[in-house]
Amino acid sequence: MLNRPTFYEEFKRRIAEAERYARPFSLLVLDKDHFKKLNDNLGHSSGDQVIMSLGKLIRRKIESTDFVPDYRVTVSIGAAGFRRNDTVKSLFERADSALYHAKGNGRNQVSREGPISSLR
């Protein structure tokens, strides 16, 4: 997984490419549901293991049915599509807002921003 500075540099590069080549892309912001509770009950090393497992799972692009943890892991996801003139901050804020919508609606789901306008 990328550290924060590397993530933002990559994110800025993706936005520049989307602007230049009119390539659509979306940002997904993922949050492990009830993560604080997991850390409090099982310890930070268990929490770290969950984060690493989720990162590996996402990187391998495998189906969730192929991932069988020792305990049930659910996530909430917020999705936002790139819009012309977006910045790292504006796109992230829309995806983050969608994430909080997913969490507010009961967690363990994906929520997206409102209608996504065309790049053109």
> Across the chain, what does the average pLDDT equal?
84
> pLDDT tens digits for 50-86?
888 888 877 776 555 555 455 577 899 999 999 989 9
What pTM, to 2 d.p., does this model score?
Answer: 0.78
Instruction: Find the helix packing angle between 88-104 and 4-21, rounded to 10°.
Output: 110
> For position 3, what pLDDT does the model report?
76
- In the prediction, which pLDDT does 2 show? 66
Backbone angles phi, psi at 96, to 5 degrees: -65, -40
Q: Vertex 27, ends 93 and 50: CA angle to 5°?
A: 100
| 89 band by pLDDT with thresholds 50, 70 and 90 | very high
